A and B are shown apart, each in its own frame.
Chain A
Amino acid sequence: MKPMIKWTALALAICLPLSAHAHRAWMLPSATVLSGDEPWISVDAAVSNDIFYFEHFPLQIEGVGEPLVMPGQTPAGKDAKPAPARPRAQLEIIRPDGSLAKPLFANTGRYRSTFDVQLDQKGTWKLAIANQGLFARYQENGEMKRWSGKAADFAKQVPKDAEKLQVTESASRMEVFVTSGQPSEQVLKPTNKGLELIAKTHPNDLFAGETAHFAFLLDGKPAANLKVTVIAEGIRYRDSLNEIVLSTDNNGAFSITWPQAGMYWLEAVSTQAITSTESPATQKRASYSATLEVLAP
């Protein structure tokens, strides 16, 4: 691949971390149910085609290593003006009591980012990457442009008279739950922003053959008739994706009976038209994904 194309791919991978396009962004914890005094977990984070195989780009996270620069290259070419740095994903490592922890032994490699967390508090922890902002496409002098950023910067950074302007409001959230000792509930409370999973069955109490009950909220309200897809790990070693496709009911609720033990990737995307004229956006896109571990009974 030519460097330019490569860097475009990288930029796309970063700016669409939770998109429904072929590339999926995910975090994979080394364990989700732990015993002992202050156990450690190690987490891989990547953007890839196949779930849980790091084979495309790392998921670049603020505070986790250095931004990825290929050997012998600079992101924008040697003599070019430095491109505005794309913001790396903001990771929150939330302790059971709601306080925040920092990623440790963090590194960004060619294919994945890794970081460790010492679970210095008993209960359920949440690792979350959540983004809210605007995404715009438009033409300038016949050239297609993309822009993403905070709503406040939109008017300053996107020309008013941009041609073929299409603006989408986006809210994305990616979560991992990990429990040391007894599961707790505090980190499961929704923020009521974007699409969020409500776990009636605790996300660290999932067992093969059992039915787990969940619900989705969109901006704090039940997300009815939402398509939910669930994919089991190990895609490389089977012929078909075997994804489980579910739908939420009128109360946003859905349930899943886990076919076997292992890591699963759960995703839902909601797209709605915006009729209000207050926002420059005509469409609102909210996405959610979680990595869940199902144990053998």
Chain B
Amino acid sequence: MLRKALAACALATCLPVSAADLKIELDIPRLEVAEYHRPYVALWIEQDNQHIANLNVWYDLKMKDNEGEKWLKDMRQWWRRSGRSLELPVDGVSGATRAVGTHSLNFNGGSAALQQLKAGDYELLVEAAREVGGREILRIPFSWPPSQKVSAKAQGSSELGAINLTLIP
């Protein structure tokens, strides 16, 4: 009985499908401002506006008394969808803020985040908020798992530059 149920479940692809990789190239733009602080950035996956998995959150981890967590709420959507319910830091998700430039992020099929993905349509969300600066959020839709190598991109206009998403079966 249990075996039958499991088989039916597998057929309906309700089990996680792994074995594909997800790569992100994220550009943090150089800004001509008098006072520059590296942005806080959150990257996560949603389905139908529901939070599914966190990929990364970059914030000031080194301030004493966790003072850097005070501004996490400025990534308003991420804070609402996930951040506020987390015990920080989260292993494999929390990281230090990053400098201006293009950053390559690789998540393999075995990673905690991607293991949660069942077959279906998703969105990659990237939200950035900068002290004494602005806030920007970008979305890139994608289907999982990829049957062939696919790429999609979004272009930021203020706090974020180009974001390229590549899925590799």
Contact = CB atoms under 8 A, between A and B. Distances in A.
Interface string B63-92: 001110111110011011001110000000
Interface string A168-211: 00000000000101110000000000000000000001010000
A34 B73 contact: yes
A36 B84 contact: no
B76 A35 contact: no
A205 B65 CA distance: 27
Contacts of A39: 70
How many interface residues does chain B have, given as a range?
Answer: 10 to 19
Contact of B84 (A181, A296, A297): A181
Nearest to B85: A182
A295 B137 CA distance: 14
A237 B65 CA distance: 40
A35 B67 contact: no
Given A182-B84, A182-B85, A183-B84, A36 B70 contact: yes
Contact of A36 (B69, B77, B80): B69
Contacts of B79: 33, 35
Interface residues of A, number: 15
A180 to B, nearest CB: 9
B76 A37 contact: no
Nearest to B74: A35
B70 to A, nearest CB: 4
Contacts of B80: 205, 207, 295
A34 B83 CA distance: 11
Contacts of B77: 297
B71 to A, nearest CB: 7
Interface string A267-297: 0000000000000000000000000000111
Contacts of B67: 36
B65 A35 contact: no
Closest 10 CB pairs of A and B: A36-B70, A35-B73, A35-B72, A36-B69, A182-B85, A182-B84, A37-B66, A181-B84, A35-B69, A295-B76
Interface of A: 33-37, 39, 179, 181-183, 205, 207, 295-297
